[in-house]
Amino acid sequence: MRKALWEKILDRLKITKILDKLKLNEKFMIMYILCVIVPLVVTDVILFRSLYKNELENQSHYRNAAIEAYSNYLSNLLSYDADLSSAMDINKNLNSFINKWYSQPYDYYDDLVSNITSSYFSTLSDLNQDRLVIYSDNPTILSGNYFHKISEVENEQWYKEFTTGFRNETVYAYFETNPALKTFDQNRFIYVRRMNNVKSSIEKIITIEHKRSRISSELGNIPVNCSMYLCCGDHVVFASDGTSEYSKILEMASYEPYMTVRDYKMYGNTFTIYAFTKNLDLAKIIQDNIWTIILLMLFTLLFPVILMRLFERSITNRISILGKAFGEGSNKYFQPIKEISGSDEISSLMNDYNRIVDINNDLTNTIYKDKLRKQESDLARKNAELLALQSQINPHFMFNALESIRMHSILKGENETADMVQRLAVMERQNVEWNEDAVTIAEEEEFIAAYLELQSYRFGDRISFNIDIDDDCKKILIPKLTLVTFVENACVHGIESKAAQGWIFVRVYKNEDKLTIEVEDTGDGMDDDAAANLERKMNCVTIDMIKNAKHVGILNACLRIKMMFSNRAKFSVETEKGIGMSVIITIPENMLTVSD
Protein backbone atom coordinates (compact mmCIF):
# COMPACT_ATOMS: atom_id res chain seq x y z
CA MET A 1 0.00 0.00 0.00
CA ARG A 2 2.85 2.39 0.90
CA LYS A 3 4.73 1.53 -2.30
CA ALA A 4 1.73 2.30 -4.46
CA LEU A 5 1.21 5.64 -2.72
CA TRP A 6 4.89 6.53 -3.21
CA GLU A 7 4.71 5.72 -6.89
CA LYS A 8 1.61 7.89 -7.25
CA ILE A 9 3.44 10.84 -5.68
CA LEU A 10 6.39 10.40 -8.09
CA ASP A 11 4.05 10.22 -11.06
CA ARG A 12 2.27 13.42 -9.97
CA LEU A 13 5.61 15.24 -9.73
CA LYS A 14 6.74 13.68 -13.05
CA ILE A 15 10.10 12.83 -11.40
CA THR A 16 10.18 9.31 -12.85
CA LYS A 17 9.64 10.55 -16.41
CA ILE A 18 12.36 13.16 -16.00
CA LEU A 19 14.83 10.59 -14.68
CA ASP A 20 14.01 8.17 -17.49
CA LYS A 21 15.17 10.78 -20.00
CA LEU A 22 18.52 11.33 -18.31
CA LYS A 23 21.65 9.35 -19.14
CA LEU A 24 23.28 7.23 -16.51
CA ASN A 25 26.22 9.64 -15.96
CA GLU A 26 23.77 12.54 -15.46
CA LYS A 27 21.80 10.52 -12.96
CA PHE A 28 24.95 9.68 -11.04
CA MET A 29 26.04 13.35 -10.98
CA ILE A 30 22.72 14.36 -9.42
CA MET A 31 23.11 11.57 -6.91
CA TYR A 32 26.63 12.82 -6.11
CA ILE A 33 25.49 16.38 -5.38
CA LEU A 34 22.42 15.46 -3.38
CA CYS A 35 23.74 12.40 -1.63
CA VAL A 36 27.40 13.35 -1.07
CA ILE A 37 28.14 17.08 -1.09
CA VAL A 38 25.15 18.07 1.02
CA PRO A 39 25.56 15.29 3.58
CA LEU A 40 29.30 16.04 3.74
CA VAL A 41 28.75 19.36 5.50
CA VAL A 42 26.44 17.73 8.02
CA THR A 43 28.84 14.83 8.46
CA ASP A 44 31.79 17.10 9.25
CA VAL A 45 29.84 18.86 11.96
CA ILE A 46 28.77 15.55 13.44
CA LEU A 47 32.34 14.24 13.15
CA PHE A 48 33.91 17.06 15.12
CA ARG A 49 31.23 16.82 17.77
CA SER A 50 31.80 13.08 17.90
CA LEU A 51 35.56 13.51 18.21
CA TYR A 52 35.12 15.97 21.05
CA LYS A 53 32.63 13.72 22.84
CA ASN A 54 34.81 10.67 22.24
CA GLU A 55 37.82 12.43 23.74
CA LEU A 56 35.74 13.36 26.77
CA GLU A 57 34.65 9.74 27.15
CA ASN A 58 38.24 8.55 26.77
CA GLN A 59 39.39 10.93 29.47
CA SER A 60 36.58 9.77 31.73
CA HIS A 61 37.61 6.18 31.05
CA TYR A 62 41.25 6.99 31.84
CA ARG A 63 40.26 8.66 35.11
CA ASN A 64 37.95 5.84 36.18
CA ALA A 65 40.57 3.20 35.29
CA ALA A 66 43.24 5.11 37.21
CA ILE A 67 41.00 5.51 40.26
CA GLU A 68 40.14 1.82 40.11
CA ALA A 69 43.84 0.91 39.99
CA TYR A 70 44.64 3.19 42.94
CA SER A 71 41.70 1.89 44.96
CA ASN A 72 42.78 -1.70 44.29
CA TYR A 73 46.29 -0.87 45.46
CA LEU A 74 44.98 0.78 48.61
CA SER A 75 42.55 -2.08 49.27
CA ASN A 76 45.27 -4.70 48.79
CA LEU A 77 47.68 -2.79 51.04
CA LEU A 78 45.16 -2.45 53.87
CA SER A 79 43.76 -5.96 53.37
CA TYR A 80 47.23 -7.36 53.82
CA ASP A 81 47.66 -5.27 57.00
CA ALA A 82 44.30 -6.53 58.28
CA ASP A 83 45.10 -10.17 57.50
CA LEU A 84 48.54 -9.90 59.09
CA SER A 85 47.25 -8.20 62.23
CA SER A 86 44.36 -10.67 62.46
CA ALA A 87 46.80 -13.57 62.34
CA MET A 88 48.80 -11.97 65.18
CA ASP A 89 45.63 -11.28 67.17
CA ILE A 90 44.64 -14.95 67.21
CA ASN A 91 48.17 -16.25 67.78
CA LYS A 92 48.14 -17.78 71.25
CA ASN A 93 51.92 -17.85 71.66
CA LEU A 94 52.19 -14.17 70.82
CA ASN A 95 49.40 -13.20 73.25
CA SER A 96 50.91 -15.34 75.97
CA PHE A 97 54.28 -13.68 75.43
CA ILE A 98 52.84 -10.16 75.72
CA ASN A 99 50.52 -10.95 78.66
CA LYS A 100 53.27 -12.62 80.69
CA TRP A 101 54.86 -10.75 83.60
CA TYR A 102 58.65 -11.11 83.71
CA SER A 103 60.55 -10.86 86.95
CA GLN A 104 63.88 -10.27 85.30
CA PRO A 105 64.89 -8.67 81.94
CA TYR A 106 66.78 -11.85 81.14
CA ASP A 107 63.55 -13.87 81.40
CA TYR A 108 61.90 -11.50 78.92
CA TYR A 109 64.84 -11.69 76.50
CA ASP A 110 65.02 -15.47 76.74
CA ASP A 111 61.28 -15.82 76.06
CA LEU A 112 61.56 -13.35 73.16
CA VAL A 113 64.34 -15.33 71.47
CA SER A 114 62.92 -18.81 72.06
CA ASN A 115 59.22 -18.22 71.35
CA ILE A 116 58.95 -15.12 69.15
CA THR A 117 62.07 -14.05 67.23
CA SER A 118 63.00 -17.55 66.04
CA SER A 119 59.50 -18.55 65.02
CA TYR A 120 56.60 -16.26 64.26
CA PHE A 121 58.18 -12.93 63.37
CA SER A 122 60.85 -14.52 61.18
CA THR A 123 58.13 -14.96 58.53
CA LEU A 124 57.61 -11.18 58.18
CA SER A 125 60.28 -10.86 55.47
CA ASP A 126 58.05 -8.82 53.18
CA LEU A 127 57.82 -5.98 55.72
CA ASN A 128 61.44 -4.93 55.27
CA GLN A 129 60.35 -1.52 54.03
CA ASP A 130 57.61 -0.98 56.68
CA ARG A 131 57.52 -0.91 60.45
CA LEU A 132 55.44 -3.30 62.55
CA VAL A 133 55.18 -2.55 66.28
CA ILE A 134 53.02 -4.02 69.03
CA TYR A 135 52.45 -1.61 71.92
CA SER A 136 51.33 -2.85 75.33
CA ASP A 137 51.04 -1.52 78.86
CA ASN A 138 52.92 -4.51 80.29
CA PRO A 139 55.64 -2.75 82.36
CA THR A 140 57.88 -5.85 82.38
CA ILE A 141 58.37 -5.81 78.59
CA LEU A 142 61.52 -4.14 77.32
CA SER A 143 61.04 -1.76 74.39
CA GLY A 144 62.83 -2.72 71.22
CA ASN A 145 62.41 -4.32 67.83
CA TYR A 146 58.70 -5.27 67.41
CA PHE A 147 57.54 -4.60 70.99
CA HIS A 148 57.23 -1.23 72.74
CA LYS A 149 55.42 0.27 75.68
CA ILE A 150 52.26 2.29 75.17
CA SER A 151 53.70 5.09 77.24
CA GLU A 152 56.06 5.88 74.37
CA VAL A 153 53.20 6.92 72.05
CA GLU A 154 50.63 8.37 74.42
CA ASN A 155 51.27 11.88 73.06
CA GLU A 156 51.13 10.91 69.38
CA GLN A 157 48.13 11.96 67.30
CA TRP A 158 47.17 8.51 66.10
CA TYR A 159 47.08 7.08 69.63
CA LYS A 160 44.90 9.88 70.97
CA GLU A 161 42.40 9.52 68.15
CA PHE A 162 42.39 5.71 68.39
CA THR A 163 41.80 5.54 72.14
CA THR A 164 39.02 8.13 72.00
CA GLY A 165 37.35 6.65 68.93
CA PHE A 166 36.55 3.25 70.51
CA ARG A 167 37.41 1.38 67.30
CA ASN A 168 38.98 -2.06 66.98
CA GLU A 169 40.92 -1.15 63.83
CA THR A 170 41.46 1.96 61.72
CA VAL A 171 43.90 3.80 59.48
CA TYR A 172 45.52 7.20 60.03
CA ALA A 173 47.34 9.47 57.62
CA TYR A 174 48.78 12.81 58.64
CA PHE A 175 51.99 14.83 58.75
CA GLU A 176 53.82 14.71 62.09
CA THR A 177 55.10 18.23 62.80
CA ASN A 178 56.79 17.43 66.11
CA PRO A 179 60.22 15.83 65.43
CA ALA A 180 60.32 14.50 69.00
CA LEU A 181 57.28 12.31 68.26
CA LYS A 182 58.51 11.11 64.88
CA THR A 183 59.23 7.39 65.27
CA PHE A 184 59.34 6.25 61.66
CA ASP A 185 58.45 8.88 59.05
CA GLN A 186 57.08 12.40 59.25
CA ASN A 187 54.40 11.50 56.70
CA ARG A 188 52.51 8.99 58.78
CA PHE A 189 50.40 6.24 57.22
CA ILE A 190 49.48 3.83 59.99
CA TYR A 191 47.15 0.83 60.26
CA VAL A 192 46.12 0.31 63.90
CA ARG A 193 44.34 -2.68 65.42
CA ARG A 194 43.43 -3.52 68.99
CA MET A 195 44.41 -7.06 70.06
CA ASN A 196 41.31 -8.30 71.89
CA ASN A 197 40.92 -11.86 70.63
CA VAL A 198 42.50 -13.24 73.79
CA LYS A 199 40.92 -11.63 76.86
CA SER A 200 43.50 -10.05 79.16
CA SER A 201 43.99 -7.07 81.42
CA ILE A 202 46.98 -6.08 79.29
CA GLU A 203 46.14 -3.52 76.59
CA LYS A 204 47.76 -4.48 73.26
CA ILE A 205 47.76 -2.45 70.03
CA ILE A 206 49.23 -3.55 66.69
CA THR A 207 50.51 -0.83 64.35
CA ILE A 208 51.74 -1.31 60.78
CA GLU A 209 53.37 1.87 59.56
CA HIS A 210 54.13 2.39 55.86
CA LYS A 211 56.72 4.73 54.42
CA ARG A 212 55.23 7.40 52.20
CA SER A 213 58.24 7.03 49.91
CA ARG A 214 57.33 3.39 49.23
CA ILE A 215 53.65 4.18 48.72
CA SER A 216 54.56 7.03 46.37
CA SER A 217 56.96 4.80 44.44
CA GLU A 218 54.42 2.01 44.00
CA LEU A 219 51.56 4.35 43.08
CA GLY A 220 53.87 6.19 40.69
CA ASN A 221 54.59 2.90 38.90
CA ILE A 222 50.91 2.39 38.10
CA PRO A 223 50.44 3.45 34.44
CA VAL A 224 47.83 6.22 34.18
CA ASN A 225 47.01 8.98 31.69
CA CYS A 226 46.04 11.64 34.19
CA SER A 227 47.15 13.49 37.32
CA MET A 228 46.41 11.51 40.47
CA TYR A 229 45.99 12.48 44.12
CA LEU A 230 45.30 10.20 47.09
CA CYS A 231 44.08 11.97 50.22
CA CYS A 232 43.00 10.84 53.65
CA GLY A 233 40.93 13.58 55.21
CA ASP A 234 42.88 16.76 54.57
CA HIS A 235 46.23 14.96 54.35
CA VAL A 236 47.82 14.29 50.95
CA VAL A 237 49.11 10.71 50.95
CA PHE A 238 50.28 10.82 47.32
CA ALA A 239 50.34 13.46 44.58
CA SER A 240 51.62 12.68 41.09
CA ASP A 241 52.95 16.24 40.73
CA GLY A 242 54.40 16.47 44.24
CA THR A 243 51.63 18.71 45.60
CA SER A 244 51.52 18.52 49.40
CA GLU A 245 48.82 21.14 50.14
CA TYR A 246 45.28 19.82 50.24
CA SER A 247 43.85 23.29 49.46
CA LYS A 248 45.49 23.30 46.01
CA ILE A 249 43.83 20.00 45.19
CA LEU A 250 40.45 21.41 46.22
CA GLU A 251 41.00 24.36 43.89
CA MET A 252 41.68 22.02 40.98
CA ALA A 253 38.57 20.01 41.87
CA SER A 254 36.39 22.65 40.18
CA TYR A 255 37.70 21.82 36.67
CA GLU A 256 34.72 19.75 35.58
CA PRO A 257 34.18 17.84 33.35
CA TYR A 258 37.91 17.05 33.48
CA MET A 259 37.87 15.59 36.97
CA THR A 260 36.66 12.42 38.71
CA VAL A 261 36.51 12.09 42.50
CA ARG A 262 35.69 8.96 44.42
CA ASP A 263 35.53 8.34 48.18
CA TYR A 264 36.35 5.01 49.82
CA LYS A 265 35.55 4.29 53.44
CA MET A 266 38.08 1.86 54.85
CA TYR A 267 38.61 0.86 58.46
CA GLY A 268 36.93 3.90 59.97
CA ASN A 269 38.53 6.50 57.74
CA THR A 270 37.65 8.04 54.38
CA PHE A 271 40.12 8.03 51.49
CA THR A 272 39.51 10.33 48.53
CA ILE A 273 41.08 9.71 45.13
CA TYR A 274 41.20 12.60 42.63
CA ALA A 275 41.92 12.10 38.93
CA PHE A 276 42.44 15.11 36.62
CA THR A 277 42.88 15.24 32.86
CA LYS A 278 43.88 18.20 30.71
CA ASN A 279 41.35 20.64 29.26
CA LEU A 280 40.32 19.78 25.74
CA ASP A 281 41.48 22.09 22.96
CA LEU A 282 39.47 21.82 19.73
CA ALA A 283 42.47 22.92 17.68
CA LYS A 284 44.58 20.24 19.31
CA ILE A 285 41.91 17.64 18.65
CA ILE A 286 41.93 18.57 14.96
CA GLN A 287 45.73 18.45 14.94
CA ASP A 288 45.80 15.06 16.61
CA ASN A 289 43.26 13.72 14.09
CA ILE A 290 44.52 15.56 11.00
CA TRP A 291 45.19 12.38 9.02
CA THR A 292 41.72 11.09 9.81
CA ILE A 293 40.20 14.33 8.53
CA ILE A 294 42.35 14.29 5.35
CA LEU A 295 41.42 10.70 4.63
CA LEU A 296 37.76 11.51 5.23
CA MET A 297 37.88 14.41 2.75
CA LEU A 298 39.57 12.26 0.13
CA PHE A 299 37.04 9.54 0.75
CA THR A 300 34.00 11.82 0.46
CA LEU A 301 35.25 13.74 -2.62
CA LEU A 302 37.20 11.31 -4.77
CA PHE A 303 35.65 8.01 -3.91
CA PRO A 304 32.11 8.94 -5.05
CA VAL A 305 33.39 9.88 -8.53
CA ILE A 306 35.14 6.54 -8.81
CA LEU A 307 32.08 4.85 -7.41
CA MET A 308 29.80 6.37 -10.04
CA ARG A 309 32.04 5.03 -12.76
CA LEU A 310 32.00 1.63 -11.14
CA PHE A 311 28.19 1.68 -10.98
CA GLU A 312 28.02 2.39 -14.69
CA ARG A 313 30.50 -0.33 -15.57
CA SER A 314 28.75 -2.70 -13.17
CA ILE A 315 25.51 -2.43 -15.15
CA THR A 316 26.93 -2.60 -18.68
CA ASN A 317 29.54 -5.26 -18.00
CA ARG A 318 27.13 -7.62 -16.31
CA ILE A 319 24.59 -7.25 -19.09
CA SER A 320 27.34 -8.21 -21.56
CA ILE A 321 28.28 -11.26 -19.45
CA LEU A 322 24.66 -12.39 -19.26
CA GLY A 323 24.16 -11.97 -23.05
CA LYS A 324 27.31 -13.99 -23.76
CA ALA A 325 26.11 -16.78 -21.47
CA PHE A 326 22.76 -17.03 -23.30
CA GLY A 327 24.60 -17.02 -26.60
CA GLU A 328 26.62 -20.05 -25.56
CA GLY A 329 23.38 -21.77 -24.58
CA SER A 330 22.27 -21.67 -28.23
CA ASN A 331 24.99 -24.24 -28.98
CA LYS A 332 23.47 -26.53 -26.32
CA TYR A 333 26.52 -26.07 -24.12
CA PHE A 334 25.70 -24.43 -20.79
CA GLN A 335 28.29 -23.04 -18.37
CA PRO A 336 27.32 -21.22 -15.13
CA ILE A 337 28.41 -17.66 -14.55
CA LYS A 338 31.25 -18.07 -12.07
CA GLU A 339 31.31 -14.62 -10.47
CA ILE A 340 28.12 -12.73 -9.70
CA SER A 341 28.48 -9.42 -7.91
CA GLY A 342 25.74 -7.22 -6.49
CA SER A 343 22.15 -7.92 -5.47
CA ASP A 344 20.14 -5.84 -7.94
CA GLU A 345 17.83 -6.96 -10.74
CA ILE A 346 20.74 -7.80 -13.07
CA SER A 347 22.37 -10.05 -10.50
CA SER A 348 18.97 -11.69 -9.94
CA LEU A 349 18.78 -12.51 -13.68
CA MET A 350 22.29 -13.97 -13.52
CA ASN A 351 21.34 -16.06 -10.50
CA ASP A 352 18.21 -17.29 -12.34
CA TYR A 353 20.40 -18.31 -15.28
CA ASN A 354 22.71 -20.26 -12.95
CA ARG A 355 19.73 -22.04 -11.43
CA ILE A 356 18.62 -23.13 -14.91
CA VAL A 357 22.12 -24.45 -15.58
CA ASP A 358 22.11 -26.30 -12.26
CA ILE A 359 18.74 -27.90 -13.00
CA ASN A 360 19.95 -29.05 -16.39
CA ASN A 361 23.14 -30.51 -14.94
CA ASP A 362 21.20 -32.20 -12.15
CA LEU A 363 18.87 -33.89 -14.62
CA THR A 364 21.77 -35.26 -16.66
CA ASN A 365 23.89 -36.43 -13.72
CA THR A 366 21.31 -37.48 -11.12
CA ILE A 367 22.07 -41.19 -11.13
CA TYR A 368 25.86 -40.76 -10.99
CA LYS A 369 25.76 -38.12 -8.26
CA ASP A 370 23.27 -40.08 -6.13
CA LYS A 371 25.47 -43.15 -6.29
CA LEU A 372 28.60 -41.19 -5.40
CA ARG A 373 26.81 -39.47 -2.52
CA LYS A 374 25.65 -42.82 -1.15
CA GLN A 375 29.17 -44.22 -1.26
CA GLU A 376 30.55 -41.18 0.57
CA SER A 377 27.82 -41.48 3.20
CA ASP A 378 28.56 -45.19 3.77
CA LEU A 379 32.28 -44.45 4.12
CA ALA A 380 31.68 -41.65 6.64
CA ARG A 381 29.36 -43.89 8.68
CA LYS A 382 31.93 -46.71 8.80
CA ASN A 383 34.67 -44.30 9.87
CA ALA A 384 32.46 -42.96 12.66
CA GLU A 385 31.69 -46.49 13.86
CA LEU A 386 35.39 -47.38 13.86
CA LEU A 387 36.29 -44.29 15.90
CA ALA A 388 33.51 -45.07 18.36
CA LEU A 389 34.81 -48.63 18.85
CA GLN A 390 38.36 -47.39 19.31
CA SER A 391 37.27 -44.85 21.94
CA GLN A 392 35.57 -47.66 23.91
CA ILE A 393 38.63 -49.90 23.97
CA ASN A 394 40.86 -47.63 26.05
CA PRO A 395 40.79 -47.55 29.07
CA HIS A 396 37.65 -49.64 29.74
CA PHE A 397 39.34 -52.90 28.77
CA MET A 398 41.23 -52.76 32.07
CA PHE A 399 38.06 -52.21 34.15
CA ASN A 400 36.30 -55.05 32.26
CA ALA A 401 39.24 -57.34 32.99
CA LEU A 402 39.13 -56.44 36.71
CA GLU A 403 35.38 -57.05 36.77
CA SER A 404 35.89 -60.49 35.18
CA ILE A 405 38.45 -61.38 37.86
CA ARG A 406 36.07 -60.19 40.59
CA MET A 407 33.16 -62.26 39.26
CA HIS A 408 35.41 -65.31 38.93
CA SER A 409 36.50 -64.91 42.56
CA ILE A 410 32.87 -64.62 43.70
CA LEU A 411 31.93 -67.80 41.81
CA LYS A 412 34.79 -69.65 43.50
CA GLY A 413 33.81 -68.32 46.91
CA GLU A 414 36.88 -66.11 47.27
CA ASN A 415 34.93 -63.11 48.55
CA GLU A 416 37.95 -61.43 50.15
CA THR A 417 39.82 -61.43 46.82
CA ALA A 418 36.70 -60.13 45.07
CA ASP A 419 36.45 -57.22 47.53
CA MET A 420 40.12 -56.39 47.00
CA VAL A 421 39.70 -56.37 43.22
CA GLN A 422 36.58 -54.19 43.50
CA ARG A 423 38.37 -51.59 45.62
CA LEU A 424 41.35 -51.70 43.28
CA ALA A 425 39.01 -50.97 40.36
CA VAL A 426 37.58 -47.96 42.22
CA MET A 427 41.09 -46.62 42.83
CA GLU A 428 42.25 -47.19 39.25
CA ARG A 429 39.15 -45.58 37.78
CA GLN A 430 39.77 -42.50 39.94
CA ASN A 431 43.36 -42.39 38.67
CA VAL A 432 42.38 -42.72 35.01
CA GLU A 433 39.46 -40.27 34.84
CA TRP A 434 41.25 -36.91 34.84
CA ASN A 435 38.67 -34.99 32.84
CA GLU A 436 38.05 -32.91 35.98
CA ASP A 437 40.79 -32.25 38.55
CA ALA A 438 38.34 -31.01 41.21
CA VAL A 439 36.16 -33.52 43.10
CA THR A 440 33.88 -33.23 46.09
CA ILE A 441 35.11 -34.24 49.53
CA ALA A 442 32.46 -36.98 49.45
CA GLU A 443 34.05 -38.46 46.30
CA GLU A 444 37.50 -38.24 47.87
CA GLU A 445 36.06 -39.96 50.95
CA GLU A 446 35.05 -42.98 48.84
CA PHE A 447 38.57 -43.25 47.46
CA ILE A 448 40.13 -42.93 50.94
CA ALA A 449 37.82 -45.68 52.25
CA ALA A 450 38.74 -47.97 49.34
CA TYR A 451 42.46 -47.35 49.92
CA LEU A 452 42.29 -47.97 53.70
CA GLU A 453 40.19 -51.11 53.25
CA LEU A 454 42.84 -52.45 50.85
CA GLN A 455 45.50 -51.63 53.44
CA SER A 456 43.44 -53.59 55.98
CA TYR A 457 44.07 -56.76 53.91
CA ARG A 458 47.79 -56.01 54.11
CA PHE A 459 48.17 -55.03 57.79
CA GLY A 460 45.29 -57.02 59.23
CA ASP A 461 44.53 -56.12 62.86
CA ARG A 462 47.52 -53.74 62.94
CA ILE A 463 45.49 -50.96 61.29
CA SER A 464 42.15 -49.38 62.13
CA PHE A 465 40.67 -46.20 60.78
CA ASN A 466 37.86 -43.73 61.29
CA ILE A 467 36.57 -41.19 58.73
CA ASP A 468 34.47 -38.35 60.20
CA ILE A 469 33.28 -35.74 57.67
CA ASP A 470 30.53 -33.23 58.49
CA ASP A 471 27.57 -33.30 56.12
CA ASP A 472 27.91 -29.60 55.25
CA CYS A 473 31.48 -30.25 54.03
CA LYS A 474 30.86 -33.14 51.65
CA LYS A 475 29.96 -31.07 48.58
CA ILE A 476 33.01 -28.80 48.86
CA LEU A 477 35.39 -29.16 45.90
CA ILE A 478 39.07 -30.03 46.46
CA PRO A 479 41.85 -31.21 44.10
CA LYS A 480 41.52 -34.89 43.23
CA LEU A 481 43.74 -37.42 45.05
CA THR A 482 45.11 -34.91 47.57
CA LEU A 483 43.61 -36.08 50.87
CA VAL A 484 44.38 -39.71 50.06
CA THR A 485 48.03 -38.70 49.61
CA PHE A 486 48.16 -37.60 53.25
CA VAL A 487 46.38 -40.85 54.26
CA GLU A 488 48.90 -42.90 52.28
CA ASN A 489 51.77 -41.04 54.00
CA ALA A 490 50.22 -41.86 57.38
CA CYS A 491 50.08 -45.56 56.45
CA VAL A 492 53.58 -45.83 55.02
CA HIS A 493 55.49 -43.64 57.49
CA GLY A 494 53.26 -44.06 60.50
CA ILE A 495 51.53 -47.45 60.75
CA GLU A 496 53.95 -49.55 58.68
CA SER A 497 56.94 -48.78 60.93
CA LYS A 498 55.05 -49.66 64.14
CA ALA A 499 54.57 -53.21 65.34
CA ALA A 500 51.61 -52.45 67.60
CA GLN A 501 48.08 -51.69 66.41
CA GLY A 502 47.71 -48.23 64.85
CA TRP A 503 44.83 -45.93 64.04
CA ILE A 504 44.28 -43.46 61.21
CA PHE A 505 41.75 -40.67 61.69
CA VAL A 506 40.40 -38.40 58.93
CA ARG A 507 38.31 -35.44 60.08
CA VAL A 508 36.74 -32.63 58.01
CA TYR A 509 34.72 -29.84 59.65
CA LYS A 510 34.14 -26.08 59.64
CA ASN A 511 35.43 -23.92 62.47
CA GLU A 512 35.50 -20.09 62.74
CA ASP A 513 34.80 -19.41 59.06
CA LYS A 514 37.43 -21.93 57.99
CA LEU A 515 37.39 -25.44 56.60
CA THR A 516 39.65 -27.69 58.69
CA ILE A 517 41.00 -31.04 57.44
CA GLU A 518 42.90 -33.32 59.82
CA VAL A 519 44.76 -36.53 58.97
CA GLU A 520 46.09 -38.16 62.15
CA ASP A 521 47.96 -41.42 62.74
CA THR A 522 49.14 -43.15 65.92
CA GLY A 523 52.48 -44.17 64.41
CA ASP A 524 56.00 -43.38 65.57
CA GLY A 525 55.75 -39.65 64.75
CA MET A 526 58.88 -37.57 64.16
CA ASP A 527 61.16 -35.20 66.06
CA ASP A 528 60.40 -31.48 66.31
CA ASP A 529 63.08 -30.36 63.83
CA ALA A 530 61.88 -32.75 61.14
CA ALA A 531 58.27 -31.70 61.72
CA ALA A 532 59.16 -28.00 61.50
CA ASN A 533 61.11 -28.62 58.29
CA LEU A 534 58.18 -30.54 56.77
CA GLU A 535 55.71 -27.80 57.74
CA ARG A 536 57.94 -25.13 56.17
CA LYS A 537 58.19 -27.09 52.90
CA MET A 538 54.42 -27.67 52.81
CA ASN A 539 53.65 -23.95 53.22
CA CYS A 540 56.41 -22.73 50.86
CA VAL A 541 56.18 -25.45 48.19
CA THR A 542 56.88 -24.47 44.59
CA ILE A 543 57.06 -26.34 41.28
CA ASP A 544 60.86 -26.06 41.28
CA MET A 545 60.96 -27.57 44.75
CA ILE A 546 58.95 -30.57 43.52
CA LYS A 547 61.24 -31.03 40.52
CA ASN A 548 64.30 -31.28 42.78
CA ALA A 549 62.75 -33.40 45.54
CA LYS A 550 63.04 -37.20 45.82
CA HIS A 551 59.64 -37.76 47.45
CA VAL A 552 57.04 -35.47 45.92
CA GLY A 553 53.72 -36.99 46.98
CA ILE A 554 52.94 -34.71 49.96
CA LEU A 555 54.51 -31.63 48.34
CA ASN A 556 52.54 -32.23 45.12
CA ALA A 557 49.27 -32.42 47.08
CA CYS A 558 50.14 -29.25 49.02
CA LEU A 559 51.00 -27.35 45.83
CA ARG A 560 47.73 -28.32 44.11
CA ILE A 561 45.71 -27.31 47.19
CA LYS A 562 47.52 -23.95 47.41
CA MET A 563 46.98 -23.32 43.67
CA MET A 564 43.25 -24.15 43.85
CA PHE A 565 42.68 -21.85 46.84
CA SER A 566 44.92 -18.95 45.69
CA ASN A 567 47.69 -19.63 48.27
CA ARG A 568 45.21 -19.07 51.13
CA ALA A 569 45.46 -22.66 52.40
CA LYS A 570 47.68 -23.18 55.49
CA PHE A 571 49.40 -26.40 56.61
CA SER A 572 50.55 -27.31 60.11
CA VAL A 573 52.19 -30.43 61.55
CA GLU A 574 51.69 -31.63 65.12
CA THR A 575 53.74 -34.60 66.26
CA GLU A 576 55.14 -36.35 69.30
CA LYS A 577 57.87 -38.95 68.96
CA GLY A 578 56.52 -42.45 69.57
CA ILE A 579 52.92 -41.21 69.92
CA GLY A 580 51.80 -40.13 66.46
CA MET A 581 51.47 -37.26 64.02
CA SER A 582 48.74 -34.96 62.66
CA VAL A 583 48.64 -32.91 59.47
CA ILE A 584 46.13 -30.03 59.70
CA ILE A 585 44.95 -28.08 56.64
CA THR A 586 42.91 -24.88 57.06
CA ILE A 587 41.20 -23.04 54.19
CA PRO A 588 39.19 -19.78 54.51
CA GLU A 589 35.49 -20.40 53.94
CA ASN A 590 35.23 -17.55 51.41
CA MET A 591 37.67 -19.41 49.13
CA LEU A 592 35.58 -22.61 49.00
CA THR A 593 33.53 -23.77 46.02
CA VAL A 594 30.54 -26.06 46.49
CA SER A 595 29.39 -28.52 43.84
CA ASP A 596 25.85 -28.12 42.50
Q: Which residue has the higher pLDDT, 292 or 136?
A: 136
Question: Which residue would you say has higher pLDDT here, 164 or 400?
Answer: 164
Q: Give the residue among 127, 301, 98, 303 at the shortest CA–CA distance from 202.
A: 98
* pLDDT on residue 125: 41
Percent of the chain scoring above 70 in pLDDT: 67
> What is the helix, strand, coil percentage profile of the chain, to 5?
60, 20, 25
Q: Using the predicted structure, report yes or no on whether residue 2 has a pLDDT greater than 60.
A: no
pLDDT reported for residue 10: 55
pLDDT score, position 385: 36
Q: Which has more pLDDT, 396 or 420?
A: 420
Q: Between these two residues, 34 and 200, which has the higher pLDDT value?
A: 200
Helix axes 483-490, 441-459, angle to 10 degrees: 20
Q: Domains, the chain, ranges and CATH?
A: 50-281 (no CATH), 289-378 (no CATH), 456-591 (3.30.565.10)
More confident residue, 301 or 534: 534
CB 250 within 8 A of CB 260: no
| Rounded mean pLDDT, 186-211 | 86
| pLDDT for residue 41 | 67
- List pLDDT tens digits, range 490-508: 887 888 777 778 899 999 9
pLDDT surpassing 60 at residue 1 = no
Count of beta carbons in the 10 Å neighbourhood of residue 427: 16
| pLDDT over threshold 80, residue 158 | yes
Average confidence score pLDDT of the chain: 76
Contacts of 218 (CB under 8 A, 6+ apart): 73
Kindly report which listed range (108-122, 149-163, 221-235, 331-345) carries the lowest average pLDDT score: 331-345
**What pLDDT does 294 receive?**
77
pLDDT greater at residue 552 or residue 127: 552
Distances (CA, A) of 241 to 185, 223, 252, 361, 458: 21, 14, 13, 79, 74
Return all residues near 562 (Cβ < 8 A) that are at least 6 apart: 541, 569
Pick from 454, 459, 445: which is nearest to 422 by CA?
454
CA distance 275 to 262: 9
- Closest to 168 measured CA to CA, from 203, 202, 119, 211: 203
Tell me what the mean pLDDT of segment 323-342 comes to: 63
Rg of the Cα trace of the chain? 40
Is the pLDDT assigned to residue 569 strictly greater than 90? yes
Contact 99, 198 (CB under 8 A): yes
Q: Which of 21-25, 243-247, 425-429, 574-578 has the lowest mean pLDDT?
A: 425-429
- Is residue 252 within 8 A of residue 275, CB to CB? The reply is no
User: Residue 450: pLDDT band by 50, 70, 90 thresholds?
Assistant: confident
Q: Are strands 502-510 and 463-469 parallel, antiparallel or unpaired?
A: parallel
- The arithmetic mean of pLDDT across residues 479-497, rounded, is 84
216 vs 213: CA distance, rounded Å: 5
CB contact set of 567 (below 8 Å; sequence gap of 6+): none
Contact in structure between 494 and 526 (CB atoms under 8 Å) = no
Per the model's pLDDT, the better-predicted residue between 385 and 347 turns out to be: 347
**H or E stretch covering 65:** helix 38-89
